[in-house]
Structure 1
Amino acid sequence: MRRLVNRGLQMLLLATSIILIVAGCSSEGKVDGKLNITTTTGMIADIAKEVGGPYVHVIALMGSGIDPHLYQVSQGDIRKLDNADIIFYNGLHLEGKMVNMFEKLEKKKTTVAVSSALDPSQLMKDEGQGEDAYDPHIWFDVKMWMSAVEVVKNTLIEKDNLNKLYYEQQAAAYLEKLTDLDHYIHQQVKLIPEQQRILVTAHDAFGYFGRAYGITVTGLQGMNTMAEFGSRDISTLRDFLVENQIKAVFVESSVSPKAMESVIDGARILKHDVSLGGELFSDAMGEEGTPEGTYIGMVKHNIDTLVNALR
């Protein structure tokens, strides 16, 4: 009789364990009660962490120094995308080699472009690349990037309505920080003499930044680093530096500095001394665990570097 009771107890415990395992592998796919989120860039991952807090587990495919325009998906990335409950990507063809993959994933799971809430009238055209080609570097206008926060918040609420109040509170707090950041940039730009408010970089990633904060922006390459450039582009930019008496140019953390070094050397041959103003973060943030490894820290680094070099 005792054996039957013990066996019955064992069967009950086994059944309970199976129920718990199944519950842990529900359609939401949560692990330890958290939503699995996979993002393409670190900037998007930063939003998801800020808004989701302890209720999300976030992985960014592209780390520090990675150029999303040229990024090739690995087998490990495919596993991360498969395991995700939510996938966030920038859109606007930033992740050029992954567009078809996202279109397929949208049919299987929650796959969202954080640029989706923006009206086309807010976007800058990528001239010569087609009617629907826009500049994808929307994070450099802080107010535009706030719309990405709303997209992430709404997606999390849709997927996990039980924690709606938390997501709303976190998003509101983060948006307040971004409002302060936007104000900080405006104040810092005023420290640069108007005639010196010219930003020259390796590729044209800072168009929204220039439009929002009153800075003229020009790059050696176009908006996409897949675009080719040659000796004529280098000489044209060199002449621009000389004619406008620009005293500093900038390299980017995710783009090779060699081309910009050639531009500087060319200007010196024409007796115009151009210094390297510093390294800016363009398509990727800094190393995780550093101030520049967050969106706010990255943007502050950029504006501080710019002001120190041009004022």
Structure 2
Amino acid sequence: MIFAVFGPLFAFGCNGTSNTETGSTEPRPLKIVLCTTGMVGDLVSAILGPEVEVNVLMKAGVDPHLFTPSPRDISLMSQADAIIYNGLHLEAGLSQTLEHMEQNKKQFVYALATGLTTEDGLIEVAAGKYDPHFWNDLELWQVAARKFADSLGERYPDQAEAYNARAAQYCDQIQLLLDTSREQIEVIPENGRILISAHDAFEYFGRSLGLEVAAVQGISTNAEASVKKVEVLVSRVVDNRIPAIFAESSVSDKSIQAIIAGCKQRGFDVQLGGTLFSDALGPAGSGAETFPTMFAANVKTIVDALNTTP
């Protein structure tokens, strides 16, 4: 249990800088903010502005579904003035840690999924359980950005106007990205707009851009892909003559290679269309180091692989 092992470290790290201890009722000033994923970090950095140091816990290629914090990670979390995370159980290995820190109220701990509903576009996958990959719906990502700015403004009212202005600027950038992406997807023949990837991280992406989506694993990568699921997808690829399927940067390509091999046994050569950035930004030099460039890179990879128009 993460909480049980690192509880004393939390107490030390948080109490050392607690406003409660000093008797202050003012919220802790934001100097250092820690975000769980690169996508979260991109949004948070845009809204907080350059005067705040924003760090990311999970680096390029790290699967947030499987991430468990090291003692050093816990120390970084306890030292931060605020921790911003995705939520909806994306960071499953951090759930107890984050809950503990939220309850202590010694830091600003906030999930970007806070306040999002199915009316906003959240996808419910089971009763009370939601798909956490909502950054792939750029309209929903804008809603999350505005809600985050509002929450910051309530906590730091003297900065509310600046937060809202930066959020509006960021949303304009994201809306332009959405408009451009939809135009690019249009070049794929309608009957070829089928995206098959390693795990179910692209439902929001597909809904937003007009793609059918299928995956070997579910919304979490905790469970191994079943042989039956691979067989079903092999049949779908062969029957629909899907030209390419996609690996993911933070997930093993074992299941995707199994589909390619299964299709070959049935006399159809499906191509590996490339590697998509699903749950993490790309490393330095990849051209996908920020959220907008990551999203644009995914769109380009998909269009290049699925556009079979001569």
Q: Is the 8 A contact 1:117 1:147 kept in 2?
A: no
The whole-number CA distance in structure 2 between the counterparts of 1:289 and 1:280 is 15
Structure 1 residue 125 displacement after superposition: 2.4
Gaps of 5+ in 1: 1-21
From 107, 111, 114, the counterpart of 1:113: 111
Structure 1 residue 288 displacement after superposition: 4.4
SS in 2 for 1:106: helix
Structure 1 residue 54 displacement after superposition: 2.1
Q: Is the 8 A contact 2:146 2:164 kept in 1?
A: no
After TM superposition, the score normalised by the length of structure 1 is 0.86
Larger Rg: 1
Listed as ranges, the matches of 1:118-267 within 5 Å are 118-121=116-119, 122-127=121-126, 131-267=127-263
SS in 1 for 2:49: helix
Structure 1 residue 248 displacement after superposition: 0.2
The whole-number CA distance in structure 2 between the counterparts of 1:147 and 1:169 is 14
Residues 1:102 and 1:86: Cα distance change in structure 2 (over 3 Å): same
The whole-number CA distance in structure 2 between the counterparts of 1:227 and 1:217 is 19
The whole-number CA distance in structure 2 between the counterparts of 1:135 and 1:221 is 13
The whole-number CA distance in structure 2 between the counterparts of 1:125 and 1:155 is 24
SS in 1 for 2:274: strand
More helix by share: 1
Aligned to 2:6: none
Tell me which moved more, 115-124 or 200-209.
Answer: 115-124
Pairs aligned (count): 282
Listed as ranges, the matches of 1:271-282 within 5 Å are 271-282=267-278
Cα root mean square deviation, aligned: 1.9
The whole-number CA distance in structure 2 between the counterparts of 1:291 and 1:165 is 32
Structure 1 residue ranges, 4+ long, deviating more than 4 angstroms after superposition: 25-30
The whole-number CA distance in structure 1 between the counterparts of 2:50 and 2:230 is 48
Q: Does 1:294 align with 2:304?
A: no
State the AA in 2 paired with 1:248: A
SS in 2 for 1:63: coil
Q: Is the 8 A contact 1:191 1:307 kept in 2?
A: yes
From 53, 56, 63, the counterpart of 1:60: 56
Gaps of 5+ in 2: 1-18
The whole-number CA distance in structure 1 between the counterparts of 2:180 and 2:198 is 25
Q: Percent identity?
A: 38
Aligned to 2:16: none
